[in-house]
Structure 1
Amino acid sequence: MNLDLAPDPAELIAWYAEMGVTEALDEMPHNHFAEPQPVQARPVHKPALLRAVPAPAIRPNAAAGTPPDEATLSARALAREAKTLDELREALSRFEGCALKATAKNLVFSDGNPEGRIMMVGEAPGADEDRVGLPFVGRSGQLLDRMLAAIGLNRKEHVYIANLLPWRPPGNRTPTPQEVAICLPFIQRQIELADPDILVSIGGPSAQGLLGLSGILASRGKWLDYDTGTRRIRAIATLHPAYLLRQPLQKRLAWRDLRALKAALDVTP
């Protein structure tokens, strides 16, 4: 059979309708002139009462089941209990209140020198950081190292680096406000324990989460005070290296921020 010669089903149905064929044939004959038979109602059976089944108990800090408010309270308690950076890292490794942990390969806690005068806080780990377990090790991290070297700094001696979130969001998407709220107590405690002289928020989410700034292009380069809980330190927001890789012309703005950072280091005791 040549399928190319077969009629189109839609056209065939339309032709039937024009010819007055409105019903398909079946195996039983039908008298269309007979009075319609009344339809007998089917008996209605009342369903048996269901026995109430208690809801399963929520496991504390369950990534998929913990309500956000409960997870945030748990994060605050765990963060406050940590007396050292090592204890804080251990607390984070046990924390199950953020669903990002289930999709990440590694906890990305910190890199650099915790005794450094500068602490830099980025947004969240990317694919390279998630694989290695250290912040700013991919292309943006390499650019950050070159930026620091331009003002005579390096992460091994002068800078302590962390992220607003210690786990990578799937696909490198921007963290949700809920994820930031849950993880915020940990990074705040990390800043308090590191006790730097200067805090640098890298990128919009970090600037908003830590410094309450919105619109990174308008708010970058301005000095603020950040309260660590034990003292107030100087803080500044700057552009993220990943953004600079996409927008090279904006490096001039980042260079102004770096010069301001260097000047502040020179005058800060």
Structure 2
Amino acid sequence: MEHHAAPDLDADAALAALEWLVELGVTEAVGDAPVNSYDLPDTLARMRAAEPAPEPAAQARPAPELAVVRPQREEGPDPVAVARAAAERARSLDDLREAITAYDLCELKKGAKSTVFADGNPKARVMIIGEAPGRDEDVQGKPFVGRAGHLLDKMFAAIGLSRETPDAEGAFYITNVLPWRPPGNRDPEPLEIAQMLPFLRRHVELADPDLIVLMGNAACAAALGQRGILRLRGKWAEAFGRPALPMTHPAYLLRQPHAKREAWADLLALRARLNALAP
């Protein structure tokens, strides 16, 4: 039997790859035998050769087209307008947390275990906006507590910032665009971002940070109306009336360790901008 060498992975990289698959919603391996992805074309050819030929009638029948049907709200309130009104009524972060928890017009809430609001020091000068909760965040009810969250803590500790400290000068505050986990950790959809954007805008107003960090594409889409984090990262912009720095998500850095060098440059730029602003 021919054996194929596995790609070189150290323990941390292998664990990161496995956790990434779990984060995507993979729960089991499917197949009677392992498939070597490097030999995939030959494997597929052998599998297809072993399949019985389709019957003539089946060959003549055209493949059905799948229609993508999105739920339509023919009656009832506009979910964005309801979110906007609820957000505007919030006079404190506690009010905003209650308003988000009570908001029932986003379908994501039905499948989530927790409403993930925020973590860290709300008086911090730096506010980090991520994308959406993952599995660990959904279970614990806090943003960025999984493997990506641990990396994020190490990254910001390297420039003297922590979510644990009571000192506003050395703290950061963190939230997400969406407070509920999308199924299978898929990317947030435009409608979901639009629904929760009034809450996010009010969140920034109430926390009143000096600087914002936009972690990943969904955060940039919500705050800047743009996507393409690899193009946007490291370039200062303005979001919600404040200086904002797009950065690659820690989950991306776990998959692409070579990008940590650019992330370190972004962290240094953040530290320099923070030092230049009077507290």
> Residue 77 of structure 1: which of 85, 89, 108 is its match?
85
Q: 2-side partners of 1:262 and 1:173: how far apart?
A: 32
Q: Residue 212 of structure 1: CA displacement? A: 2.2
> Residue 122 of structure 1: which of 110, 124, 130 is its match?
130
Asked if 1:203 is matched to 2:216, the reply is yes
User: RMSD in angstroms over aligned alpha carbons?
Assistant: 1.7
Q: Partner of 2:78: helix, strand, or coil?
A: helix
Structure number with greater CO (CA < 8 Å, separation at least 6) is 2
Q: 2-side partners of 1:254 and 1:74: how far apart?
A: 38
Q: 2-side partners of 1:66 and 1:110: how far apart?
A: 33
Q: 2-side partners of 1:236 and 1:211: how far apart?
A: 11
Q: 2-side partners of 1:119 and 1:196: how far apart?
A: 6
Q: Partner of 1:135: helix, strand, or coil?
A: coil
Aligned position for 1:239: 248
Q: Partner of 1:74: helix, strand, or coil?
A: helix
Aligned position for 2:101: 93
Change in CA separation of 1:171 and 1:190 when aligned onto 2, cut-off 3 Å: same
Q: Residue 66 of structure 1: CA displacement? A: 7.8
Asked if 1:253 is matched to 2:262, the reply is yes
Q: Residue 64 of structure 1: CA displacement? A: 9.2
More helix by share: 2
Larger C-alpha radius of gyration, 1 or 2? 1
The answer (yes or no) to whether the contact 1:126–1:172 under 8 Å persists in 2 is yes
Change in CA separation of 1:193 and 1:139 when aligned onto 2, cut-off 3 Å: same
Q: 1-side partners of 2:74 and 2:164: how far apart?
A: 38
Asked if 1:175 is matched to 2:180, the reply is no
Change in CA separation of 1:118 and 1:215 when aligned onto 2, cut-off 3 Å: same
Q: Which runs of 4+ in 1 moved over 2 A?
A: 63-69
Q: Residue 153 of structure 1: CA displacement? A: 1.1
Asked if 1:219 is matched to 2:232, the reply is yes
After TM superposition, the structure 1 = structure 2 runs for residues 144-183 of structure 1, keeping only pairs within 5 Å, are 144-157=152-165, 158-183=171-196
Letter of the 1:173 partner, please give it.
R
Q: Structure 2: give runs of 5+ residues left out of the alignment.
A: 1-70, 166-170
The answer (yes or no) to whether the contact 1:68–1:178 under 8 Å persists in 2 is no
